[in-house]
Structure 1
Amino acid sequence: MARRLHQELGVPIGILDINWGGTRAEPWTSIPAMQRHPRFRARVNKLQSEFRRWGDRSTAEIDALYQDQMKGFEQTASSWWQKKLDGDPGIAGSWADTGFSDEDWSEAPVPGLWSGDDEGWDGVIWYRNTIEVPAEWVGRDLVMRPGAIDDADITYWDGEEIGRTTNQHGALRNYVIPGDQVQAGAATIAIAALDTGGAGGITGSAGSIKILPAGAKEGEAIALAGTWKVHRGNKFSGDRGPSPPSKPEAPGRKTSDPGVMFNAMLSPFVHYGIRGAIWYQGESNAGQAAEYAELLPLMLGSWREAWGQGDFPFGIVQLAAFKAVSDNPVQGGWATLREAQDFTHRVVRNTGLVVLTDVGDARDIHPRNKQAVGNRLADWALNRCHGRADLPESGPFFREHEVDGDSILVQFDHVGAGLTGRRGKQIDGFAIQGSDGNWHWAEVEVVSADQLRISHPEAPAPTAVRFGWQDNPVRANLVSSHGLPAAPFKTD
């Protein structure tokens, strides 16, 4: 988008790139705006009550609560491990001990996910390795960093447990070996790695897997990455074990909390002069489309209020095509969220809507064709903000409909020189409802540049029309003469 604007206008255009992927719209809306709205007021009041309760507690009380939760977790985790390792050959056979012979074990790379015969294994795999402890390390506490282990582990040093982690497959382990257990010469490291589903193994970067004296420089570390001995223990799956408690943190810091992104990421920029804003979001709110039809205008208004620059242009990017293709002509799903975006564009002054139903991937929520998104936004911005009436600000939008005997006439705005099917093909993607309530993929006739006739032989008394009313509306190929897609709509 910025490149197109630069090329068309001949001057660099600054873009404030303020975003956090996967978030909802509530965090980007100001708290005062949400508090004024009856639908969202209770949610904000609840958050403010949590603020007050948090402020009434001392740091010592919060820490004590967390420690109590951790003690409960450790007891539960210990019991879980005992059940999982009951009868495990590694425990019964003392596989962690220094004197145990692993000469008939297999070998595997560390780091690395389980592969070969062990790929897909759910249960315990034991790892063993031997290192030479330098004489200058004797009597010093050591820090062992075996990386991240999917999903859980118990780690041993010369047969003694030095640490365990439960149900934290992405956490980098840091285990301390007491100095009185550190002797010069050969030392045996054993790890009982437990995976309960999917891929398992010791992960992380090779450079992060090491051992060194506590407080020593990284250059003194001994690398533990390389080839280790491995052997299977107990087999089981499904139960990942108890999850550790989250450390208490102040309310309003979660990325889903009302106003958190507005306060932390937008507010620092409200003193900048801007010509407009663009907004590409909605996936995380797709399950609450009716609410979004109220939330998006509210959010937009809170931005304009904060900047104090009037009703600056606001471009909304409609959700792209995504998910499996369905033959149900009125599937709904993401179509209802697109309807909320279209509603905002229609009722809020000086807004635009960029349609992406022809851009997307059934398996990828992020459209790979970024150029189409950027160029369509640039066309809208040039038209709306910079007086380029020669450029289209959008594709066709539904204007009105009229039942005409056994068909329905539908009129559109923003058609350019006229309506057509993409790449000259027959127009498709329309559904028509008969008086019996059944929907059918419709036949489409071009009546004039901006009007279509929709019909079906099995709907002689039609009542409603829908277009592109699916998650992934691959049939929807109506475009303007500029090649821009029509926005999905329904008449009922």
Structure 2
Amino acid sequence: GTGIEDWISRETLGDGKSGPCPGPIVGTMGLPTQQYNAQIRPLMNMTIKGVIWYQGESNKGQNELYSCRFGRLMSEWRRQWSIGTGGGTDAEFPFGIVQVGPSSEPNSPVPSAATFLIRMGQTAGYGYAPNIVWPKVFMATALDLANPPGTKCFMGCVHIFNKQAVAHRLVLAARSVVYGEMSLVYSGPRVEHVRFGGGSVTLTYGVGTEGKGLALRSGYGFEVCGADCNATASDPAVWRPAAVAASTRNTITITSPGFSSSNTIGAVRYAFDEMPSLFYGTQLAVYNGEGLPATPGVYFREKLGA
């Protein structure tokens, strides 16, 4: 696969040592900017409506750096495409992204902070799109679309076979965000508020529950850690599985043995791993009635002031 650096011009990317996005430069076979020069720049005199962007696996482990470079990529493409078409292409045309899906061998899932970080990096750190930083970006979540167990792929199963599900989710998001079908439920449930009790946490969901509400398919995917885990968010040793204790059409309350008013929960995370559904050995918990999955996230009591 290609790194995002392959798809940005040399002028915008720089040397990785200075400028707005300093950091390591990942490029296919050591040749960053090659895909931009060969496959993008020659098309910039053709009018387009928008872009579907499905990339990120080669930049795993990056969060802020990927967000910075993807933001620069979008700005550059929008500006140059509008200029190249004499204004025929909207200077703020939309991007549709596919959040990185499962890419390990399906029969050997491995907990991975690297995949969670790139999923956050794809969305400017929010875990979902559109958001306040990228209002013209829509998204399909794909973390639940693992290939069937036993699938063998050349150079690993990076690409999801179930393209129909990915396309369906992208189309729903485009219809709402790009074409203005405001009443359409286009996203899985998104966490709007987190309330920490002593030995429990209640998550309230907003976007994605307007229609049929939450539809729990299992109790799996949630983990919690104690009050001292803020500096070790990616350390698997400090996280314990949590169970769904109660739910309504837009709230979920989780608990975990050993936590109480004297030993409080300090953070909760959901769908953190590379292939969370297979890591837990069952289907993930949180969907809406329309069949769309919730996005992954980590929520700290200290950071939320809860």
Partner residue in 1 for 2:21: 39
**Are residue 325 (structure 1) and residue 109 (structure 2) matched?**
yes
- Partners of 2:61 and 2:113 within 8 A in 1: no
Bigger-Rg structure (1/2): 1
Partner residue in 2 for 1:93: none
- Partners of 2:94 and 2:136 within 8 A in 1: yes
Which stretch has the larger CA shift, 366-375 or 290-299? 290-299
**Are residue 453 (structure 1) and residue 248 (structure 2) matched?**
no
Alignment of 1:226-237 (within 5 A): none
Letter paired with 2:77: W
Q: Distance in 1 between matches of 2:25 and 2:4?
A: 14
The offset of 1:486, in angstroms, is: 0.7
1:444-490 CA-to-partner distances (Å, cap 9, x unmatched) read 24443222212212122001010010011114331111110111111
Q: Distance in 1 between matches of 2:122 and 2:242?
A: 25
Q: Distance in 1 between matches of 2:30 and 2:24?
A: 16
Taking structure 1 as reference, are residues 348 and 333 closer, same or farther at Cα in structure 2, changes over 3 Å only?
A: same
Please list every run of 5 or more consecutive structure 2 residues that lacks an aligned counterpart in the other structure.
83-89, 152-156, 230-237, 301-306
Q: Distance in 2 between matches of 1:470 and 1:420?
A: 21
The offset of 1:256, in angstroms, is: 4.6
- Partners of 2:243 and 2:255 within 8 A in 1: yes
User: What is the aligned counterpart of 1:431 among 213, 223, 228?
Assistant: 223
- Partners of 1:435 and 1:459 within 8 A in 2: no
Root mean square deviation of aligned Cα: 2.6
- Partners of 2:198 and 2:259 within 8 A in 1: no
Which stretch has the larger CA shift, 358-367 or 309-318? 358-367
- Partners of 1:432 and 1:464 within 8 A in 2: yes
**Are residue 406 (structure 1) and residue 167 (structure 2) matched?**
no
Please list every run of 5 or more consecutive structure 1 residues that lacks an aligned counterpart in the other structure.
1-21, 45-251
**Are residue 350 (structure 1) and residue 136 (structure 2) matched?**
yes
Alignment of 1:233-272 (within 5 A): 256-272=30-46
Q: Distance in 1 between matches of 2:6 and 2:103?
A: 24
Partner residue in 2 for 1:484: 292
Q: Distance in 2 between matches of 1:374 and 1:445?
A: 34
**Are residue 282 (structure 1) and residue 85 (structure 2) matched?**
no
Q: Distance in 1 between matches of 2:177 and 2:246?
A: 29
**Are residue 389 (structure 1) and residue 173 (structure 2) matched?**
no
Partner residue in 2 for 1:81: none
Letter paired with 1:477: A
Taking structure 1 as reference, are residues 357 and 442 closer, same or farther at Cα in structure 2, changes over 3 Å only?
A: same
The offset of 1:38, in angstroms, is: 3.4
Partner residue in 2 for 1:103: none
Q: Distance in 2 between matches of 1:258 and 1:400?
A: 41
The offset of 1:255, in angstroms, is: 6.0
Q: Distance in 2 between matches of 1:42 and 1:280?
A: 21
Letter paired with 1:414: G
Partner residue in 2 for 1:377: 170
1:225-252 CA-to-partner distances (Å, cap 9, x unmatched) read xxxxxxxxxxxxxxxxxxxxxxxxxxx9
- Partners of 1:401 and 1:411 within 8 A in 2: yes
User: What is the aligned counterpart of 2:93 among 286, 309, 312?
Assistant: 312
Q: Secondary structure at the match of 1:376?
A: helix
User: What is the aligned counterpart of 1:418 among 213, 220, 225?
Assistant: 213
- Partners of 2:101 and 2:145 within 8 A in 1: yes
TM-score if structure 1 supplies the norm length?
0.48
1:408-439 CA-to-partner distances (Å, cap 9, x unmatched) read 22222222321122xxx333201011235432
- Partners of 1:27 and 1:256 within 8 A in 2: no
TM-score if structure 2 supplies the norm length?
0.75
Taking structure 1 as reference, are residues 462 and 353 closer, same or farther at Cα in structure 2, changes over 3 Å only?
A: same
Partner residue in 2 for 1:210: none
Greater relative CO, 1 or 2 (CA 8 Å, sep 6+): 2
**Are residue 300 (structure 1) and residue 74 (structure 2) matched?**
yes
- Partners of 2:246 and 2:254 within 8 A in 1: no
**Are residue 29 (structure 1) and residue 11 (structure 2) matched?**
no
Q: Secondary structure at the match of 1:466?
A: strand
- Partners of 1:321 and 1:472 within 8 A in 2: yes
The offset of 1:313, in angstroms, is: 1.5
Letter paired with 1:473: P
Taking structure 1 as reference, are residues 420 and 256 closer, same or farther at Cα in structure 2, changes over 3 Å only?
A: farther
Q: Secondary structure at the match of 1:379?
A: helix
1:268-323 CA-to-partner distances (Å, cap 9, x unmatched) read 22222222211111111114344213222222222112222222111110111232
Partner residue in 1 for 2:244: 444
Q: Distance in 2 between matches of 1:43 and 1:294?
A: 13
Letter paired with 1:484: L
Letter paired with 1:372: A
- Partners of 1:23 and 1:255 within 8 A in 2: no
Q: Distance in 1 between matches of 2:44 and 2:189?
A: 34
Letter paired with 2:4: A
Q: Secondary structure at the match of 1:479?
A: strand
Taking structure 1 as reference, are residues 342 and 452 closer, same or farther at Cα in structure 2, changes over 3 Å only?
A: farther
Q: Distance in 1 between matches of 2:189 and 2:8?
A: 30
Letter paired with 1:444: V
